[in-house]
């Protein structure tokens, strides 16, 4: 890994953590409508994967999508404004936290429907395959979604047609309030890959270097026309399913089963220092710049206007004759 990549990784992980901490704080004041699902603690997965992607590559995301958006390059100002429901938001305030999207950077949308991303990622892969482009598509999904029909249908299509798609399971231990082991008949998500005759690997999702290494192989395979890979990244949902969730379903014993003791950002910081990728000064500067960027995003969102009334019925169609 070169210094630039290490810089990028550390910056993105910090952006996500700071962003989510701010969203949590502001949500508790009632300024943000609806509900939010926070990604803090799982940064290594989105960042480790997106470190291999460029603007022409696509990702699909989930209800817990802020981290994927940031890692893929969505503008922090536009994201925060969207979460506030402002006209300057990436979706002009129409979508909100669960529907942030930005096609300019290959972000095909967070998603309010569990399992909604699989067929969409397959479609982006199909588009790449038919058009003969070099782009790959990545489907991020949670452990809850691995029991949804779309998981099986989507992976099978991608595998059968050898489409350039990477399926990234973020196994954080819980689908809403239900433990992974209760809802999933298989011991691991990765082993389900066997049924589709594709590689399935399980990595420590709190170690960005492990995620990075697994994704590198998967991207190569996808670009070589060999088809999809299923990566299961183990992590732990340090937040509730949504903000305000009492999380009574979590126990100390649960936490020990998952690599919670490892903060993915601290872990990478140590790695970067030990391997002379980033100096203490550089790390501190990245942290400072990230905090500032997120603070600016908050101010941008606060200072932005609500969407105007006439936008209520705009953008339903490209054209519609009445």
Q: At what angle do helices 280-303 and 76-84 cross, to 10 degrees?
A: 40
Residue closer to other proteins by CB (options 292, 311) is 311
Edge-to-edge strand ranges of the sheet holding 229-234: 58-60, 137-142, 165-171, 229-234, 200-204
CB of 288 to other proteins, least distance (A): 32
Which one of 1, 3, 73, 94 is in contact with other proteins (CB under 8 A)?
94
Mention every residue, 6+ apart, whose C-beta is less than 8 A from residue 250. 174
Binding piece for other proteins, criterion CB under 8 A, among 7-15, 39-47, 147-155, 190-198:
147-155
CB of 250 to other proteins, least distance (A): 8
Which one of 99, 162, 255, 257 is in contact with other proteins (CB under 8 A)?
99
CB of 267 to other proteins, least distance (A): 28
Binding piece for other proteins, criterion CB under 8 A, among 17-25, 199-207, 287-295, 303-311:
303-311
Measured distance CA(147)–CA(182) in Å, rounded:
11
**Sign, Cα dihedral of 230, 218, 223, 212:** positive
Which one of 130, 131, 187, 316 is in contact with other proteins (CB under 8 A)?
316
Q: Give, in order, the Cα–Cα distances in Å from 10 to each of 4, 32, 140, 254, 273.
A: 10, 28, 20, 28, 11
Residue closer to other proteins by CB (options 281, 317) is 317
Residue closer to other proteins by CB (options 92, 128) is 92
- Cβ neighbours of 253 (radius 10 Å): 7
- Binders of other proteins among 174-193, rule CB under 8 A? 175-179, 181-184
CB of 32 to other proteins, least distance (A): 8
Q: Which residue, chain included where needed, has tokens 């992607």?
A: 53
Based on DSSP, count helices (H) and strands (E) in the chain, helices before strands. 11, 7
Told to check if 60 binds other proteins by CB under 8 A, we report no
* Segment (H or E) for 72: helix 66-72
Residue closer to other proteins by CB (options 110, 209) is 110
Told to check if 86 binds other proteins by CB under 8 A, we report yes
Told to check if 200 binds other proteins by CB under 8 A, we report no
Measured distance CA(97)–CA(66) in Å, rounded:
8
According to DSSP, residue 36 is labeled -
- Cβ neighbours of 17 (radius 10 Å): 23
CB of 315 to other proteins, least distance (A): 8
What are the backbone angles phi and psi of residue 175, rounded to the nearest 5°? -100, 105
- Binders of other proteins among 251-270, rule CB under 8 A? 251, 254
CB of 139 to other proteins, least distance (A): 16
Structure tokens of 286? 């990245």
Chain positions contacting other proteins, by CB under 8 A:
33-35, 82, 85-87, 91, 93-99, 111-115, 144-145, 147-150, 175-179, 181-184, 246, 248-249, 251, 254, 306-307, 309, 311-313, 316
């Amino acid at each position: 890994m070169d210094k630039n990549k290490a810089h990028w990784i550390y910056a993105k992980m910090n952006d996500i953590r700071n962003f989510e901490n701010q969203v949590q704080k502001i949500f508790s004041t009632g300024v943000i409508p609806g509900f939010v699902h926070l990604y803090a603690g799982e940064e290594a997965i989105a960042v480790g994967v997106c470190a291999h992607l460029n603007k022409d590559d696509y990702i699909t995301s989930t209800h817990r999508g802020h981290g994927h958006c940031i890692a893929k390059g969505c503008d922090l100002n536009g994201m925060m404004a969207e979460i506030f429901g402002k006209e300057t938001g990436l979706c002009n305030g129409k979508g909100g936290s669960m529907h942030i999207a930005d096609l300019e950077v290959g972000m095909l949308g967070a998603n309010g429907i569990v399992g909604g991303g699989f067929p969409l990622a397959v479609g982006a892969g199909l588009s790449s395959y038919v058009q003969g482009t070099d782009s790959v598509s990545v489907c991020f999904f949670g452990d809850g979604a691995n029991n949804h029909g779309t998981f099986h249908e989507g992976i099978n299509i991608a595998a059968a047609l050898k489409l350039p798609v990477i399926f990234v399971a973020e196994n954080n231990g819980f689908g809403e309030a239900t433990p992974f082991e209760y809802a999933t008949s298989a011991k691991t998500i990765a082993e389900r890959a066997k049924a589709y005759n594709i590689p399935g690997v399980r990595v420590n999702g709190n170690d960005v270097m492990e995620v990075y290494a697994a994704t590198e192989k998967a991207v190569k395979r996808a670009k070589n026309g060999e088809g999809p890979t299923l990566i299961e990244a183990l992590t732990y949902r340090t937040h509730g399913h949504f903000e305000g969730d009492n999380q009574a379903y979590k126990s100390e014993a649960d936490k020990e089963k998952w690599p919670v003791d490892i903060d993915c950002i601290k872990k990478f910081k140590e790695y970067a220092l030990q391997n002379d990728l980033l100096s203490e000064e550089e790390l501190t500067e990245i942290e400072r710049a990230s905090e500032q960027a997120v603070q600016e995003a908050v101010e941008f969102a606060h200072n932005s206007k609500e969407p105007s009334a006439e936008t209520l019925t705009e953008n339903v169609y490209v054209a519609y004759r009445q």
